[in-house]
A = this chain, B = another copy of it.
Amino acid sequence: MSNLLDKINGPQDLHLLSVEELTDLADEIREFITHSVSKTGGHLASNLGVIELTIAMHYVFDFNKDKLLWDVGHQCYAHKILTSRKDKFAQLRKHDGLSGFPNPEESDYDVFSVGHAGTSISTAMGLALGAQHNKTEEKIVSLVGDASIVNGLSFEALNNLGLVKRQMLIVLNDNSMAIDATPGSVAKFLSKIRLSHTYEDLRKTTNNILEKLPLIGKKMEDAIESFKKTLRMAVSPSRLFESLNIPYFGPVDGHDIGSLIELFRAICELQRPAILHVYTKKGKGYSPADDNPSKFHSTGPFELNGDTPDTSKSKKTFTSAFSDTLVKLAQEDKKIIAITAAMTEGTGLNKFKKLFPDRFYDVGIAESIAVDIAAGMAKQGLKPIVCIYSTFLQRSYDQIFQEVALQDLPVVFCIDRSGFVGSDGPTHHGLMDIGFMRMMPNLIIISPADETEIKAALNYALRCGKSVAIRYPKDTIENMLLEPGRSTEPFETGKSVTVRKGSGNIVIAALGSILREAIKAADDLSKQGIDITVINARFAKPVDKKIVSLFDEKKTIITVEDHSIACGFGSAVLELIAKEKKCDDKNWTGRIINLGCPDKFIKADSRKAQLARIGISAEEIVKTVKKIADK
Contacts and interface: CB of A to CB of B under 8 A. Distances in A.
Q: Give the most central of A151, A361, A579, A599: most B CB within 10 Å.
A: A599
A394 interface: yes
A183 B111 CA distance: 28
Contact of A119 (B158, B372, B570): B372
Contact of A156 (B151, B359, B378, B587): B151
A432 interface: yes
B398 A129 contact: no
Interface stretch (A58-66, A238-246, A489-497, A605-613): A238-246
Q: Give the most central of A127, A239, A373, A440: most B CB within 10 Å.
A: A373
B439 A377 contact: no
Contacts of A484: none
Given A126-B376, A134-B381, A394-B398, A587 B582 contact: no
Q: Give the most central of A239, A381, A398, A403: most B CB within 10 Å.
A: A398
A590 interface: yes
A113 B442 CA distance: 14
Contact of A376 (B124, B240, B627): B124
Interface residue tally on A, bucketed by range = 35 or more
Interface string A17-33: 00000000000000000
Contacts of A237: 243
Given A368-B156, A376-B129, A575-B565, A397 B436 contact: yes
Nearest to A411: B126
Given A151-B152, A239-B243, A246-B185, A591 B588 contact: yes
Given A111-B379, A599-B441, A162 B134 contact: no
Contacts of A161: 185
A380 interface: yes
Interface string A598-625: 0111000000000000000000000000
A163 interface: yes
Contact of A566 (B188, B438, B585, B631): B438
A233 interface: no
Interface string A414-441: 0000000000001100011001101111
Given A163-B183, A237-B243, 11 more contacts: A112-B379, A112-B403, A126-B374, A126-B375, A129-B361, A150-B156, A151-B152, A162-B188, A406-B601, A432-B440, A586-B591
**8 closest Cβ pairs, A-B complex:** A126-B376, A152-B152, A130-B380, A122-B372, A156-B369, A156-B366, A397-B397, A240-B243
